[in-house]
Chain A
């Protein structure tokens, strides 16, 4: 068991206190909703996708420090990136949290930006992994082309 301070690192606490891109976009092309049925947390993700690029991104909702920081950091990272680049972050991040073996985690860790590396300790708290992946699942849905017209809800269960 890692200690709790490793889970609640400064980066996470600071993004929790002042989340970036924490707003509804005035103009968006895609929106999806991420729900964690375990705790009732709900986030709505908005993205403006133009010419294969995420030109703007924002999110709204209420959830724990882990899910809010994860959303905030995700939004910072993918803003301005191509869909392929965003997809790569998403795949690597999910592998970091969900890989069955420690080697698989280690192999992906170095590829991730520091801001995402801080979530590494969460895999030791299985009940909290879903908090960290929630917004990424909502992003995944958008990258798959969902949420272009009607709102699409994804769930971490």
Chain B
């Protein structure tokens, strides 16, 4: 489960040394870092770099195996169809779904959420009903619900934040979580749906989604979990989480862009009308009427991103080849190093961490921060000049920013290929920001 319990809270010298060795081996798997050894790429929460396996696979795919899906009677097409369907089964095993039929391929997380909003929630939602989300959603898990509620006259309810402070050597850092008690009070018998992020893309905090799913279950409320950030930071078990839908994107999981996954419980998928109509999703079409294919094909209209789906299978193989405990420890070690630096380095005392935790195993390798008197965009540009790639902006989470009374933050995120040098380059870059701007 994604709770980082597998790793200890304290970083020892020995664990640091071990992870350094391991990380340098992992980094070698990513060709972009041999082309650009100068870069500290700390924006994996936006999109991850791709391992050689995935890159080589895609090239090989187009040289050797490219053919249309489902349509050809010839061997090349039959093989591609088989490979594509094998990935469906692989994804099902990867997230512990019941079977491949519970896996729908989409364009990404955004597309998957829109599918559920359109085909599952919209037909059930009436004026006076409500949908529950949280105050820390990505726009992808906010706008579809906001728009749907506006259209039907339903109410969008929002689980508020609970804010606290974490002491640093020079200042207090902001701790942000969900206010669970309020969540319970917000659910009632007109609540038709709950949609929550598993891990926040801004704060990195792992939300107590298992508890929230359980709570929803007692009231028979279906739940969608946005796993865009969570999927790459440990194993996900949709049955144990107790959700009805789970969504994620390939490109954050070291895989190709243009592909994402919707997991939906079979009983629910079967009740849902198509999202889009067109080729490949039918049983029979006549001028008078059409019968649609059963799920998952019903939701895969038109030519699918075949290479990306099969490439996602390769990325999952890569990800699963990483020993989970080591991966989590590695990412958490980097998070701890960076956090400790920001908390206790005198020259960095103007930095405030947004989404800090006293126990850092409660978050993944995502570190948002602001610097007093410096706009995050300027932080981003100056870090860029130090070859450090971070994200600066509202992170597609403007309601969260407004709640925190911020317009933007800068965010560093850590992945399997990052190392201690990246953290050092990052901290030196921030010193440069402070010297230049303040």
Interface residues, chain A, with chain B CB atoms under 8 Å away:
3-5, 7-8, 13, 16, 38-42, 62-66, 68, 125, 128, 131
Which of B31-39, B199-207, B212-220, B375-383 makes up part of the contact surface? B375-383
In chain B, what residue has the closest Cβ to A65? B378
Q: Are A4 and B382 neighbours in the complex by a CB distance under 8 Å? A: yes
Decide yes or no: A39 and B378 within 8 Å by CB, A4-B385, A8-B436, A8-B437 being known contacts: no
**B residues contacting the other copy or chain, number (CB 8 A):** 18
Instruction: Please pick, from A3, A8, A38, A40, the residue contacting B378 in the complex, using a CB distance under 8 A.
Output: A8
**Which residues in B have their C-beta under 8 angstroms from that of A65?**
374-375, 378, 437
In chain B, what residue has the closest Cβ to A7? B381
**Which residues in B have their C-beta under 8 angstroms from that of A4?**
381-382, 384-385, 436
Decide yes or no: A39 and B385 within 8 Å by CB, A62-B407, A64-B375 being known contacts: no
Residues of B contacting A: mostly:
helix
Let me know if B392 is at the binding interface, CB within 8 A.
Answer: yes
* Bound-state Cα–Cα, A41 to B393, Å: 9
Q: Are A63 and B437 neighbours in the complex by a CB distance under 8 Å? A: no
Nearest chain B CB to A1's CB is how many angstroms away?
9
Some 29 contacts from A to B, beta carbons below 8 A apart, are A4-B436, A7-B381, A8-B378, A8-B437, A13-B436, A13-B437, A16-B437, A39-B377, A39-B392, A39-B393, A39-B407, A39-B408, A40-B393, A40-B398, A40-B407, A40-B408, A42-B407, A62-B375, A62-B407, A63-B377, A64-B375, A65-B374, A65-B375, A65-B378, A65-B437, A66-B377, A128-B377, A128-B381, A131-B377
Let me know if B401 is at the binding interface, CB within 8 A.
Answer: yes
* Bound-state Cα–Cα, A8 to B392, Å: 17
Let me know if B329 is at the binding interface, CB within 8 A.
Answer: no
Let me know if B265 is at the binding interface, CB within 8 A.
Answer: no
Q: Are B382 and A8 neighbours in the complex by a CB distance under 8 Å? A: yes
Nearest chain B CB to A14's CB is how many angstroms away?
12
Q: Are A64 and B385 neighbours in the complex by a CB distance under 8 Å? A: no
Which of A3, A64, A68, A128 is packed against the most chain B CB atoms within 10 Å?
A64
**Which residues in B have their C-beta under 8 angstroms from that of A68?**
375
Nearest chain B CB to A71's CB is how many angstroms away?
13
Decide yes or no: A40 and B375 within 8 Å by CB, A3-B385, A13-B437 being known contacts: no
Q: Are A64 and B377 neighbours in the complex by a CB distance under 8 Å? A: yes
Q: Are B393 and A64 neighbours in the complex by a CB distance under 8 Å? A: no
**Which residues in B have their C-beta under 8 angstroms from that of A66?**
377-378
Which of A5, A39, A40 is packed against the most chain B CB atoms within 10 Å?
A40
* Bound-state Cα–Cα, A68 to B378, Å: 11
Let me know if B394 is at the binding interface, CB within 8 A.
Answer: yes
Q: Are B394 and A40 neighbours in the complex by a CB distance under 8 Å? A: yes
**Which residues in B have their C-beta under 8 angstroms from that of A16?**
437
Q: Are B382 and A41 neighbours in the complex by a CB distance under 8 Å? A: no
Nearest chain B CB to A74's CB is how many angstroms away?
18
Mask: chain B, 346-388; 1 = CB below 8 Å from A; 0 = not: 0000000000000000000000000000111110011011000
* Bound-state Cα–Cα, A7 to B398, Å: 28
**Which residues in B have their C-beta under 8 angstroms from that of A42?**
407
Nearest chain A CB to B329's CB is how many angstroms away?
34
Nearest chain B CB to A52's CB is how many angstroms away?
35
Instruction: Please pick, from B382, B384, B394, B437, the residue contacting A39 in the complex, using a CB distance under 8 A.
Output: B394
**Which residues in B have their C-beta under 8 angstroms from that of A39?**
376-377, 392-394, 407-408
**Which residues in B have their C-beta under 8 angstroms from that of A38?**
393
Nearest chain A CB to B49's CB is how many angstroms away?
20
* Bound-state Cα–Cα, A65 to B379, Å: 10
**Which residues in A have their C-beta under 8 angstroms from that of B382?**
4, 8
Which of A5, A8, A66 is packed against the most chain B CB atoms within 10 Å?
A8
**Which residues in B have their C-beta under 8 angstroms from that of A131?**
377
* Bound-state Cα–Cα, A125 to B392, Å: 15
Nearest chain A CB to B392's CB is how many angstroms away?
7
In chain B, what residue has the closest Cβ to A63? B375
In chain B, what residue has the closest Cβ to A5? B436
In chain B, what residue has the closest Cβ to A8? B436
Nearest chain A CB to B396's CB is how many angstroms away?
10
Which B residues, 374 to 428, have Cβ-Cβ distances below 8 Å to chain A?
374-378, 381-382, 384-385, 392-394, 398, 401, 407-408
Mask: chain B, 189-229; 1 = CB below 8 Å from A; 0 = not: 00000000000000000000000000000000000000000
Nearest chain A CB to B96's CB is how many angstroms away?
38
In chain A, what residue has the closest Cβ to B383? A4
**Would you list the 8 A-B pairs with minimal beta carbon distance, nearest first?**
A4-B385, A64-B375, A64-B377, A40-B394, A39-B393, A65-B378, A40-B407, A64-B378
